[in-house]
């Protein structure tokens, strides 16, 4: 959804390339040969996230949705929990966050930071569903 730090994207030709070195305006795109057009292949604020159509399809069939440490303020990801809670599947919509959101989409909240809350959640899910679910 947000891209990958180990890749670059050319703003000229749109190529996405594996990249392990620093990226700067002195780099030349290997495909179109333009100078200074490479940037990290990540989605900045104000840009459209990747794979939204696929994400929308998956949310309709989600049985367990887990949101970890987000403010739930940034569109469109802030709507994912609501979509899952309303998909008719009686899904578990779980939040791990020291500052829980108040939008009512979550049916379980673990009000702790991720380093404490995620292991507790994993233990709970293993007890509830066994190792097949994880």
pLDDT over 70 (residue 113): yes
pLDDT over 60 (residue 127): yes
pLDDT over 60 (residue 35): yes
At 132 the pLDDT is 66
| Top-confidence residue, 3 or 45 | 3
At 81 the pLDDT is 94
Strands 38-42 vs 16-18: parallel, antiparallel or unpaired: unpaired
Q: Got the DSSP string for 8-75?
A: EEETTT--EEE--S---TT-B-TTT--BT-EEEEEPPTTSPPTTHHHHHHHHTT-SEEEEES--S-ST
At 64 the pLDDT is 94
Report whether 3 contacts 17 (CB < 8 A).
no
Cα gap 38→26, rounded to integer Å? 9
- Collect all residues with Cβ–Cβ distance below 8 Å to 57 and sequence separation of at least 6: none
At 71 the pLDDT is 76
Please report which confidence band the pLDDT of residue 52 belongs to, taking 50, 70 and 90 as the band edges: very high
Sign, Cα dihedral of 81, 84, 90, 96:
negative
Comparing CA positions, the residue from 33, 114, 45 lying closest to residue 73 is: 45
2 catalytically annotated:
yes
Please report which confidence band the pLDDT of residue 130 belongs to, taking 50, 70 and 90 as the band edges: confident
Cα gap 71→131, rounded to integer Å? 30
- 55-107 residue pLDDT tens: 999 999 999 999 998 877 788 888 999 999 999 899 999 999 999 887 789 99
Domains of the chain are: 3-42 (no CATH), 52-133 (3.40.50.1220)
**HSE-up of 45 (CA within 13 Å, CB side)?**
2
Q: Catalytic pick from 2, 33, 51, 89?
A: 2
At 122 the pLDDT is 95
């Amino acid at each position: 959804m947000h891209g990958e730090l180990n890749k670059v994207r050319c703003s000229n030709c749109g190529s996405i390339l594996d990249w392990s070195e620093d990226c700067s305006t002195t780099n030349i795109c290997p495909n179109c040969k333009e100078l200074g057009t490479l940037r990290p292949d990540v989605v900045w604020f104000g840009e459209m996230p990747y794979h939204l159509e696929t994400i929308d399809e998956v949310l309709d069939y989600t049985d367990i949705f887990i949101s970890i440490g987000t403010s739930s303020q940034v569109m469109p990801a802030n709507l994912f929990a609501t979509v899952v809670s309303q998909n008719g599947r009686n899904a578990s919509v779980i939040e791990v966050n020291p500052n829980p959101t108040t939008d009512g989409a979550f049916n379980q909240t673990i009000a702790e930071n991720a380093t404490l809350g995620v292991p507790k959640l994993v233990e709970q899910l293993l007890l509830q569903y066994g190792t097949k679910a994880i």
